[in-house]
Amino acid sequence: MSRARRPAPPPPPQGTHFASGAHPGRIHPALLAALAATLVLFILHHFKYWFLTDDSFISFRYARNLAHGRGLVFNPGFERVEGYTNFLWVLALGALDALGIAPENAANALSTIFSLGLWALVAWWGVRRWRSEGSGAWALVAPLLLAVTRSVAVWGTSGLETRCFEFLVVAATLRLVLEVESEEHGDGTRRPLAGVIFGLASLARPDGPLLALCAFGAAGLHLRSRGKFRAGAWLKRALPFVMLVAAHLVFRLAYYHEWLPNTYYAKVGGKVWFSSGIRYFASFALEYGALAWPPLLFMGWKLHRERRSTAIPLLFAAVVIPHALYIASIGGDHFEYRPLDLYFPFLYLLMGDGVRRLMQRPRTRVVAWAWLAVVVAGIVALPWRSHAEYPNHYVAGFPGIPADTPEARRYLAADTDPFRAVPGVGALDRFHRELQDSLSANLVGLRQEEHRMFLLGQEPEGRRLGDMVRRGVLPADARVAVDCVGAIPYFSGLRTLDRLGLTDSGVARMPFTTPRHMAHGKRANLAYGRAAGVELWAAHPAHFLWHAADLQFLRMFWSHASEGDSFYVAPVDSGWWLAANLPQGAEQAARRFPRLAFLPRGPQALNAVLRDAEGILENRLSRAPDDFESTRSLAYLYRSTGDFARALPLARTLTLRSPDDPESWAMLAVCQLRTGDGTAASRALGEASDRARAAGRAEDAANYSAQQAALIRSLTPPTAP
């Protein structure tokens, strides 16, 4: 009897580059090498944007207090306020701190692990499908797109819980897909792990329950449509999620006596802000070239419909769409596209399926790769420009708040786009820039670069204040108030009133200010601080300590001194000053801070600061005559004190080094006029007007022109009758 011949295995699909010659179920070495290349690119991009935010130090302070036995509180020994939205993240950082790893050192290392885990999930999902179907090139699409996406690289660190949350949500969703497929096939052998992972995601961020409920709801509806829904099995899968969320809620009620985190009242308070949220999404779509995504997403959906695997796009959509509506309703986020970063893995996986669908036919194979190249260009081009053209120094609310400065006008200008020759690109660029202006003016979607450079100023100040506490200059139980309660409270250890209300329940329940600003919509006043026992009320939103030669300090000090408010300064160290209001009064401050000699507003304090600043700036310029910032600061100082003769040569230098700056010409005009050269002052005002007009600052140009006209009239001798 002859031996039965086995049927030959089906040939691999034509046009694949990695399956030919591969053993069934074994990954071809070429595919492994290509995946490794995307991983290397992913890691390099990740470290390019390594940074910490000031806001992350709020969670760090909670974690440190927990690790040291003080409880989950911001100010130990006082009101319990849930001023964080990342319970699981705080617990993890607290546990590591208890082991001797400080939160500021542990957070980014932990986020990096989750980032690698996210890449591995996406790569595994593609490879898993490849091993079962014998095709491979398309499995590279999602890992590659993750590797080149700026937002994915940015939120791979920051110190916040973002990547931890994303990893858990993606893992839970992919696991739920497998569990649903298991139910569809009738075996039901998959363990109910999706509920556990969704439960952990819900502990990582408060929007986790929304995603889990929508995902489980979509899974139930899908199984019901296939006639495979079993209520008992479905509840069994959802039960771990319900138990974890319920346990956290019981803890919140018992410990904080609130149903919701305090941050909800401070940031949202039941108010929708769709106008901001829609602009936020529009800016995101334009920046990442999302207009090119729908064809690949459609083809991916079509592939799953043909293969009756619609559970995949259905569950992806069940996570992305409700979350997007929620984010739009609250106005977006203070951070650059941070909550939207969650969508990339789902969208990229579906786009990879779209590429696979197009590769099934030889005539559309070239179209697949060409369109993918367009998608990659859209993902990379504008985000890279946003980084390359960002100022190399800290600017608050850039580009919307300083919109009339030369560097803000140059930022992402349409005429510098390398793709401007493509029809319509210039118009889209201009629209995107308008969106950037309007969003950042309301403190929405502020860029990674701004947050990174902001911390560079906050951390040294927090450490300096902590050193003042250790030296006894400030008592350890001093009560202070400031807007930015990250690094300063963390490193100083001082009891701090959050004037924006994230960690203060009273402020969080105040009405929103007008106009509304993201994460800055509630604000305590001085009377509130006085009633709360605040002793040092920062004169600036972010700083207590200032260097005497800081131009911003000189301007702030001058404006406060001229406005007549209760503004005090005290010398701290060589060249450093503490600037604050004293809500409890000067006498109380003298008793509480005997080593600080507070000077009230007025000539004595002003002259002391200016003398200190003058000596520092003159010394700097003697060592570095080309120091532009010191030149500008010293010119401003001389002009402010009426020493126009010494300000004049410095003002001339400013116009030579920054000829397009209207303010430099205006300063020169003032100095020339006050030193008796009215004709030269008139010409300088004309230059100021021309520069302002060229920069699109019509109002400033008109103002300078009016000053010039008035000066000309004053210089023109009256006509004899």
pLDDT digits (tens, 9 = 90+) for 5-49: 444 444 444 333 333 334 445 677 888 899 999 999 999 999 999
Q: Which of 531, 508, 529 is nearest to 581 (CA)?
A: 529
- Inform me whether the pLDDT recorded for 184 exceeds 90: no
Distance CA(192)–CA(212), nearest Å, equals: 14
Which residues are within 8 A (CB) of 145 and not within 5 positions of it... i.e. 6 or more apart?
Answer: 344, 348, 351, 375, 376, 379
With pLDDT > 70 as the criterion, what percentage of the chain qualifies? 93
Where is the domain boundary, 367, 399, 416?
416
**8 A C-beta contact, residue 156 and residue 371:** no
- Inform me whether the pLDDT recorded for 534 exceeds 50: yes
- Inform me whether the pLDDT recorded for 273 exceeds 90: yes
Residues forming beta bridges with residue 599, ordered by sequence position = 569
Same domain, 484 and 539: yes
Over residues 687-703, the mean pLDDT reads: 87
19 inside domain: no
432 inside domain: no
Q: How far is CA 106 from CA 44, 113, 157, 288, 535, in A?
A: 20, 11, 11, 31, 33
**8 A C-beta contact, residue 143 and residue 127:** no
6 inside domain: no
pLDDT of residue 2: 43
Over residues 658-675, the mean pLDDT reads: 92
Same domain, 476 and 412: no
CA 66 to centroid of chain Cα atoms: 26
- Inform me whether the pLDDT recorded for 592 exceeds 70: yes
235 inside domain: yes
Per-residue pLDDT tens over the stretch 378-425: 999 999 999 999 999 999 999 999 987 878 888 998 888 888 888 888
Q: How far is CA 358 from CA 145, 296, 366, 643, in A?
A: 18, 9, 9, 74
Same domain, 375 and 503: no
Distance CA(714)–CA(709), nearest Å, equals: 9
Same domain, 578 and 603: yes
- Inform me whether the pLDDT recorded for 4 exceeds 50: no
Instruction: For residue 328, name the pLDDT band (cuts at 50, 70, 90).
Output: very high
**8 A C-beta contact, residue 619 and residue 609:** no
Same domain, 577 and 537: yes
pLDDT of residue 170: 98
Q: How far is CA 428 from CA 129, 283, 419, 590, in A?
A: 37, 10, 11, 59
35 inside domain: no
181 inside domain: yes
- Inform me whether the pLDDT recorded for 94 exceeds 80: yes
Over residues 241-258, the mean pLDDT reads: 97
Q: Range with the lowest mean pLDDT among 139-148, 199-208, 546-555, 649-658?
A: 546-555
447 inside domain: no
Same domain, 568 and 630: no
Where is the domain boundary, 614, 645, 674?
614
Same domain, 67 and 119: yes
Same domain, 162 and 283: yes
pLDDT of residue 550: 87
Over residues 137-161, the mean pLDDT reads: 96
Split into its structural domains, the chain has a count of 3
The DSSP code for 138 is G
Q: Range with the lowest mean pLDDT among 21-30, 114-123, 648-657?
A: 21-30
Where is the domain boundary, 556, 588, 614?
614
Instruction: For residue 134, name the pLDDT band (cuts at 50, 70, 90).
Output: low
Same domain, 609 and 628: no
Give the CATH number for residue 687.
Answer: 1.25.40.10
**8 A C-beta contact, residue 300 and residue 353:** yes
Q: Range with the lowest mean pLDDT among 151-155, 159-163, 616-620, 669-673?
A: 616-620
Over residues 97-104, the mean pLDDT reads: 98
Over residues 473-489, the mean pLDDT reads: 97
pLDDT of residue 3: 44
pLDDT of residue 133: 59
* Host domain of residue 461: 452-614
Over residues 156-174, the mean pLDDT reads: 98
- Inform me whether the pLDDT recorded for 566 exceeds 80: no
| Residue entry with tokens 């402010």 | 640
Collapsed DSSP state (helix, strand, coil) of residue 602 = coil
| Residue entry with tokens 């929708």 | 272
Same domain, 171 and 318: yes
Same domain, 394 and 471: no
438 inside domain: no
**8 A C-beta contact, residue 345 and residue 122:** yes
pLDDT of residue 419: 80
pLDDT of residue 559: 67
Amino acid at 88: L
Per-residue pLDDT tens over the stretch 503-520: 999 999 999 988 889 999
pTM of the model: 0.90
pLDDT of residue 485: 97
**8 A C-beta contact, residue 130 and residue 31:** yes
B/e letters for 17-48, b = 16+ CB within 10 Å, e = fewer, are ebbeebeeeebbebbeebbeebbebbbebbee
Burial level of 155, CB count in 10 A (0-12/13-18/19+)? buried
Structure tokens at 126: 């593609």
Count of CB atoms situated within 10 Å of the CB of 5: 6
Instruction: For residue 463, name the pLDDT band (cuts at 50, 70, 90).
Output: very high
Q: Which residue has the higher pLDDT, 497 or 188?
A: 497
Which residues are within 8 A (CB) of 185 and not within 5 positions of it... i.e. 6 or more apart?
Answer: none
Q: For residue 572, what is the enclosing H or E element?
A: strand 567-573
| End-to-end Cα, the chain, rounded Å | 136
Same domain, 541 and 672: no
Over residues 340-366, the mean pLDDT reads: 94
Which residues are within 8 A (CB) of 619 and not within 5 positions of it... i.e. 6 or more apart?
Answer: none
Distance CA(652)–CA(362), nearest Å, equals: 69
Sign of the CA dihedral running 443, 447, 450, 456: positive
Q: Which of 281, 282, 297, 283 is nearest to 372 (CA)?
A: 297
- Inform me whether the pLDDT recorded for 432 exceeds 60: yes
Distance CA(179)–CA(183), nearest Å, equals: 6
